[in-house]
Structure 1
Amino acid sequence: MIRHIVLFGFESYPSGQSKEQFLKEAKAAFEELPQHIDCLKSLKVSFNINPNESYDLMLEGVLSSADEIEIYAKHPEHVARVKQYIKPFVSKRACVDIEE
């Protein structure tokens, strides 16, 4: 089993949305992905509760093998959400893939 963990720090948010609204909307959108991507066994999305830290959002996906990370990353449903919620607003990203 592979845990694909990604942290995001955002520098801006969509016009008219608060940070909290944006993060809740992004969380809901990403949590739908296991319904669309067969290799994604589960996806947990969490908010950072410490305002003094630089990352705002954590995604933790579970996949069966390391080969599936690329399948997940290139899947159109994942790409669409990254294009809408991540790329326009993110200032930093960190990723780790752990084999259990």
Structure 2
Amino acid sequence: MINVGLYYRVKEGHEKEFEETFSKVVSILKNSDIGFIDAKLYKRVDDPREYLIYSEWKDLESFKKFILSRDYKETTTYGKTILEGRPYHKIFQEINT
């Protein structure tokens, strides 16, 4: 399993829209068979326009396939209309000790 932290800064006034879109996308991903497990949305305490999506994936290959998909490209195209700057992500892998 891997975890991916996706970091976003939302344009002022689009916070609720971002949160609602997140919920819709998670629902779609949970009903697909692409290796997506779950995701949670976090809002920065001292800057409520900054968000972290913490997602869980079956493996790195599943996540890579997703970010190369047409659905992901459509989502990022839409995101450009409500986001400030370029989002980024960090990938973490669970260590079994």
Which TM bucket (shorter chain)? 0.7 to 0.9
**Alignment of 1:95 onto 2:84:** no
Check whether the contact 1:4–1:61 (CA below 8 A) recurs between aligned residues.
Answer: yes
Structure 1: how far apart are the matches of 2:80 and 2:33?
Answer: 20
Aligned-CA RMSD value: 2.3
Equivalent residue for 2:15, pick from 14, 20, 24: 20
Q: Which residue of 2 aligns with 1:38?
A: 34
Structure 2: how far apart are the matches of 1:94 and 1:20?
Answer: 18
Partner SS for 1:36:
coil
Task: Give the TM-score taking structure 1 as reference length.
Answer: 0.71
- CA distances 1:13-51 after superposition (whole Å, capped 9, x unpaired): 6xxxx3332232222233222223531111222222322
- CA distances 1:58-98 after superposition (whole Å, capped 9, x unpaired): 112211221222111123333332222x2233313231100
4+ runs deviating over 3 angstroms: none
**Runs of 5+ unmatched residues, structure 1:** none
**Runs of 5+ unmatched residues, structure 2:** none
Task: Give the TM-score taking structure 2 as reference length.
Answer: 0.73
How many residues are treated as equivalent by the alignment? 92
**Percent pairwise identity:** 9
Structure 1: how far apart are the matches of 2:52 and 2:33?
Answer: 19
Structure 1: how far apart are the matches of 2:58 and 2:69?
Answer: 16
**Alignment of 1:59 onto 2:57:** no
Structure 1: how far apart are the matches of 2:76 and 2:34?
Answer: 18
Letter in 1 for 2:38: S
